[in-house]
A = this chain, B = another copy of it.
Amino acid sequence: MNFVAALNEAAAKNLRTLEEQIRQAISEDPFIFAACEPLIRGGKRLRPMLFMLCANAKTACPPEKTMPLATALELIHTASLVHDDIIDTSKRRRGVETANSKYGAQIAVLIGDYLFAKAFQLVAENDYGAEVSSILSKLVKNLCVGEIMQDRSLFVVPTMTEYYTRINLKTAIFLSSCCKLGAVVAKAPSREVENLTAYGAGLGLAFQIIDDLLDFFGDETVTGKPHGGDLKSGVITLPVIRALEVSGDADKLKALVTRGEVTAEDIDAAIKIIRATDAVDYCRTRAEAHIEAARVNLPLTLKTSVSLALEQIADFVVDRTR
């Protein structure tokens, strides 16, 4: 991940310590470890990194104050992916076989639950206090509400407002909460908490829009996923919503995406229709606008190294290929 290059040495060391802590957090039970270790491997660690950077935004925050919560954030993210893979009946994630495919839905549900519980245990046992636990439980709740919203309207075209509500609940609140948690743990003044939260929110919206774009147009050898996975599972995202607004073939596209069954040919046809419109540019422009909103919210008072890393993360989010 290219933003790691922007980290100063202390932050890079933190990242190495984090990897160890994550492994340790799942090592209580040999089966849980064997099942979770491949799932944990290879993540971008975007959420814990955002948290740690924001916790160190002005003065150094000791690792013992950041590590348990950083670990908890990655465990929650992993738990949500494990449960997501049950939902998507995906076979591979981050280049490895999913828990669902390897152990069946039964055990995958429980592995996810275990990771959630472990995350809350780490927070309970490291004196973060009620506000941190509250932010954390609310972000999980919102994530669920966003996912439920998505699953209840598969193969249905959402309005722009519905799409934004969903990606806000699913992704933006998670990333903004990571930033907020950093500021809260660092006892930042409320104005700075708000600004870092707003940075995370813009970042999150952009992140999800780019994710939705990569699902159609990413390099399959880089993303590790075949094109059109969202469409196949009935999730209709911004490129389609935009194309439906402007394409001469909108009726054909609508029929393809709402029929309830999507073949490889349908995906190719949908991509062709989308490409013939301004949808890709439109999505990029929207993502860039959210990133710009994120940037302008970055307080000017941050340490240079942190400020630089948060800027680079913003760049990464719109430029990323996976």
What separation, in Å, do the CA atoms of A131 and B125 have in the docked complex? Answer: 8
The distance from the CB of A152 to the nearest CB of chain B, in whole angstroms, is 7
Q: Is the CB of B134 within 8 A of A109?
A: no
Question: Given A29-B145, A31-B148, A134-B125, A106 and B120 touching (CB < 8 A)?
Answer: no
A311: interface (CB < 8 Å): no
A283: interface (CB < 8 Å): no
Residues of B within 8 A of A138 (CB): 117, 121
What separation, in Å, do the CA atoms of A116 and B118 have in the docked complex? Answer: 12
Q: Is the CB of B137 within 8 A of A124?
A: yes
A133: interface (CB < 8 Å): yes
Question: Given A118-B137, A123-B133, A124-B130, A110 and B151 touching (CB < 8 A)?
Answer: yes
Q: Is the CB of B114 within 8 A of A116?
A: no
Question: Given A83-B109, A107-B148, A107-B152, A141 and B117 touching (CB < 8 A)?
Answer: yes
Residues of B within 8 A of A144 (CB): 110-111, 113-114, 117
A315: interface (CB < 8 Å): no
Residues of B within 8 A of A116 (CB): 113, 116-117, 140
What separation, in Å, do the CA atoms of A80 and B140 have in the docked complex? Answer: 16
Residues of B within 8 A of A87 (CB): 105-106, 109-110
Q: Is the CB of B109 within 8 A of A137?
A: no
The distance from the CB of A300 to the nearest CB of chain B, in whole angstroms, is 33
Q: Is the CB of B145 within 8 A of A114?
A: yes
Residues of B within 8 A of A114 (CB): 141, 144-145, 148
Number of A residues with CB within 8 Å of any CB on chain B: 42
Give A144's nearest chain B residue, CB to CB: B114
Give A82's nearest chain B residue, CB to CB: B109
Give A80's nearest chain B residue, CB to CB: B113
A127: interface (CB < 8 Å): yes
Of the residues B105, B140, B143, B151, contact of A86 by C-beta under 8 Å: B105
Residues of B within 8 A of A31 (CB): 148, 152
Question: Given A114-B144, A127-B130, A130-B127, A121 and B109 touching (CB < 8 A)?
Answer: no
The distance from the CB of A305 to the nearest CB of chain B, in whole angstroms, is 32
What separation, in Å, do the CA atoms of A107 and B152 have in the docked complex? Answer: 8
A264: interface (CB < 8 Å): no
The distance from the CB of A22 to the nearest CB of chain B, in whole angstroms, is 16
- Give 1 or 0 for each of A179-208: 1 = CB within 8 Å of chain B CB: 000000000000000000000000000000
Task: List 16 contacting pairs A-B, 8 Å CB cutoff, sorted by A.
Answer: A29-B145, A31-B148, A32-B145, A80-B113, A110-B144, A110-B148, A113-B113, A114-B141, A116-B116, A120-B133, A120-B137, A121-B133, A121-B134, A121-B137, A124-B134, A125-B134
- Which 5 A-B residue pairings sit nearest by Cβ, starting from the closest? A124-B133, A121-B137, A117-B140, A114-B144, A120-B137
- Given contacts A120-B140, A125-B134, A127-B130, list 10 more A-B pairs with CB under 8 A: A83-B113, A110-B147, A110-B151, A111-B144, A113-B144, A114-B141, A118-B141, A120-B120, A121-B137, A124-B134
